[in-house]
Amino acid sequence: MSLASTEQHGMLSGLEEVIYEEGHEAVINVLNRSMTSMIGRHDPVLCQVLGSAVQAFAEFDGDPVSAARHMAPRLSGLGARHARLGRNLDELNLAFVRANAAVNRGLKFALKREAPRDTQSYIRAKIGEYISALHRHARVGWHRVHAHQQASSALNAGDPADESRLARPSDSMWLQAVAAVDNMTVDDGYRIVVATADSVSAGLFEHEETLCAEDPTEVLVPASWTDDDIGELADAQVVASAAVAVAELTQTAALVRHGAELLHGGILSDERVVVPCDDLLGLLVLHSSPRLSQMVVAKQLGAWDSMTVRRRVNVGELVLAWLESGQPINVVARGLNLAAQTAHSRMRTARSTLGDAMDDPRQRLELILALQTALPQWRDALKPPK
């Protein structure tokens, strides 16, 4: 139950009513100092997860169940990392005891002085539930990795103290360990799923048929899963590879991750929840070199520099839809809800500026890639400043 739902009991209508605007930062600072003191050094990965957990509680208006579900992949990954680095479960449990105490200290600076005492007690109780739920998710991650460690030393084949980033299920070191324990072979097929934002959904990360490691942005799903299967469990956009053998997972994952980064950064645009990586291959080649992207856009669309941005978007969207569909212009116009006269006018503009590129097979491919690259940037330029 969120704090907003307690209004019927006369307590409050939202978390912001009783927490200072800078209160969340105060809690995060106390948490970070406590964890740094406990482990004897600054841990940027840990601090990032702790900060996200505090923000999630605020974003879900104090609902511990929803906030914990949102954070589940990240806490499970944190617990898995704790095990990989050779730390035992008692240390993990102690960390959450310390975290609970630190949050309660931080609340002294975060709660408004005028907040009723019963409201403050209610918030502290909900935070206690939230921390307990996060603790459970972290223990699940620790136990999963610890079980693999009992059967295989491959998880520590590299430097066990390497904390530069969280392990991913597509990492060769991780795959060696899982293969040894779960009898995977090079013929086992998986699809790599990477989130375009902070993490995949808890439904994907914790499903019994998926493989995950520490990094909450990546999971492996069975080769037999369709885009619809993935979409049923995804609550935010992901990029998914085709089915690949275990031996090819690590290299393929780098491409999928690059596609997710381009979508997250707004360099590419796609409204689908599940974006097949195969649909991005041409753009991935183009964006493997920023200079190459610039050259292709300049070559194919340089003649449009004198147009207004709005005009470039209007003409560009029509030309791209026509090139990609191969349909007559009247059919494309209907699909875009454009009047036929408007569509023909925009095509005349395109032909007068692009010339033979619209009909030459090699240049058509470059033109498609150039438009796919430039259109998201032009659309962003039309958005009002925040």
Domain boundaries, the chain: 3-151, 172-286, 290-382
With a cut of 60, say whether residue 186 has pLDDT above it. Answer: no
The more confidently predicted of residues 155 and 292 is: 292
For the whole model, what pTM was predicted? 0.57
| Confidence category of residue 340, pLDDT binned at 50, 70, 90 | very high
Residue whose C-alpha is closest to residue 75's, from 126, 158, 144, 177: 144
Chain segment 310-323, per-residue pLDDT in tens:
999 999 999 999 99
Q: Is the pLDDT of residue 17 over 80?
A: no
Q: Provide the mean pLDDT of the chain.
A: 84
pLDDT at position 148 is 65
pLDDT > 70? residue 333: yes
**Which DSSP helix (H) or strand (E) runs through 194?**
strand 189-195
pLDDT per position as a tens digit, 43-84: 888 888 988 999 899 888 889 999 998 898 889 888 888 887
Q: Report the distance separating Cα 218 and Cα 260, nearest Å.
A: 10
The residue-averaged pLDDT of 328-356 equals: 92
Average pLDDT over residues 222-234: 93
* 198-222 average pLDDT score: 86
Burial (CB < 10 A; 0-12, 13-18, 19+), residue 127, is buried
- pLDDT bracket for residue 7 (50, 70, 90): very low
**Residue 81: predicted pLDDT:** 86
C-beta separation of 135 from 38 below 8 A: no
